[in-house]
Amino acid sequence: MIKKRFIAGASCKKCQKQDVIRWCKDNVSDQEWIECVSCGYHEDKAEAVMAAEHPQEAADSVVKIVQFK
């Protein structure tokens, strides 16, 4: 299944129109790309970005509340 979401305020690199770019992700292959619904411009996410490891949040991360008087 392919997930598609518009990117508010984004402009197309080819036709320069605003609010016509959508981000797409294929859940089966984990491929990501952007495409313009106006002119058909298409750009795949760079392989270096796709292959990068993303840091995981520490299990012991706790939000602390500080009270001021």
First to last CA, the chain: 53
Task: Using alpha carbons, select from 30, 22, 23, 41 the residue that is nearest to residue 1.
Answer: 30
Residue 38 pLDDT:
95
Residue 60 pLDDT:
61
Residue with tokens 């058909």: 40
d(CA 8, CA 18) in angstroms, rounded, equals 8
pLDDT in tens, the chain (69 residues): 999 999 999 999 999 999 999 999 998 988 899 999 999 999 998 766 556 676 666 656 666 666 676
> pTM above 0.75?
no
